[in-house]
Structure 1
Amino acid sequence: MEMETKVTVHDAMTSNVITADPGISVAEAASIMTEKKVGSIIVKSNSEPEGLITESDIIRKVVSRDLRASEVTVGEVMTRNLISIEPDRELSEAARLMAKNSIRRLPVVRDGALVGILTSSDVMMVAPELTEILVENARIEENRVQLPENERSVPGVCEICGNFEEYLEEYDGKYICEECKEDLEGE
């Protein structure tokens, strides 16, 4: 009997994680995100991750309240109590963890130290067969919690062009990417 190779978190994660100190301002964090083209930064003061700040945290907690991004620290708005995973765990376990907690990013930690980050897009690129786990749960979650129209997006494969996108929107009963949606609306 052939031993099936298990795909691990380590196989799919990104190991050069962009991190920042909790004392920096949200404005600085935003410029790091822009410069590095990332949607989130792991916050840590020593080797251990303390939190995560994402673009949506900045919009929800700073911009929407009209606070000055240069006067708010990352530590004040970051998401704490991070759910993390070890690098040698199976990728399918990571996918279930993301789905269950409705998160798109998992810090990868070995012995308390941050060694990488795993995103839902990483999972789908390495193991497209796990997309089902991520998307099904995102849809279940979404039906349970009525989010405002513009935030009802799930990662997955567009049902029209077949591209994998981080954000799909429901349009006419199909999950499609923004470009296809614009094409349809423009018709």
Structure 2
Amino acid sequence: MLVRDRMSKDVVIISSTTTILEAERLMKENEVRRLPVVDRDKLIGIVTYNDLLEAEPSKATTLSRFELTYLLSKMNVSEIMEKKVITIKPDIPIEEAALIMKKNQVGGLPVVEETRVVGMITESDIFDVLVETLGVELGGTRITLELPEKPGELHRVTGIVSQFMVNILSLATFYIKEKPNLRYVVIRIATRDYEPIIEAFKADGITVKHVWVTQVDEGA
């Protein structure tokens, strides 16, 4: 899955002369928390909702509401925008976007093709991918296994499941830094009759760490 598959393509952009009040209005109307700043089709900055909050005068100010509104109506986003914008290309894997966000502690990235902004990818988009990848909405039974970090272990797991003619809805792996020689596998299978599969795992020497069965929705 690539960034272009999940990015928002209808990007609300502003110019450097957009006022802070106008930027705030656009964020609220479009339910976004960041706006790319573009002049002459070139990305020159980005403004976030937090930037707008920091630009507003303190509540301790003696200025009247009229004076505050007038002040903000005269301030352009060029005065508060972040000029060193971290961007990403549309054909980058989605997990690379997540890593870039984590390393730089940002909640969204403008997607740029050549010099043109073609989309935005945000932490919400990444979260949606995580939910989909783990098959949360597909139901079934979620099983967490502890395996040695060596070749062939995943094949062993899927081979056991296939013996029961059960469909694998999703499969993901993760590790714990304190246990570098182990790999944890989270597998979701399309059945609630999981006990025989658990017994087969244990019989093959696979450690079962956790089992969770999706609850049936009332009225389903």
Q: Work out whether the TM-score is over 0.5.
A: yes
* 1:63-78 correspondence runs (5 A): 63-64=57-58, 68-78=71-81
Q: Secondary structure at the match of 1:69?
A: helix
Which residue matches 2:123? 120
2:106 to 100, 103, 106: 103
CA RMSD of aligned residues (A): 1.8
Unaligned runs of 5+ in 2: 62-67, 135-220
Match status 1:8 vs 2:10: no
Which residue matches 1:89? 92
Number of matched pairs? 124
The letter of the residue matching 2:4 is H
Give the alignment's TM-score, normalised by structure 1: 0.62
Structure 1 residues 10 and 75: alpha-carbon distance in aligned structure 2, compared to 1, 3 A threshold: same
* 1:1-187 correspondence runs (5 A): 7-64=1-58, 68-128=71-131
Give the alignment's TM-score, normalised by structure 2: 0.53
User: Hey, what's the Cα distance between the residues in 1 that align with 2:3 and 2:103?
Assistant: 17
Q: Secondary structure at the match of 2:72?
A: coil
Q: Which has the larger radius of gyration?
A: 2
Unaligned runs of 5+ in 1: 1-6, 131-187
Identical positions, percent? 32
Structure 1's consecutive aligned runs of 4 or more residues displaced over 2 angstroms after TM superposition are 61-68, 126-130
Which residue matches 1:136? none
Which residue matches 1:140? none
The letter of the residue matching 1:95 is A
User: Hey, what's the Cα distance between the residues in 1 that align with 2:18 and 2:44?
Assistant: 14
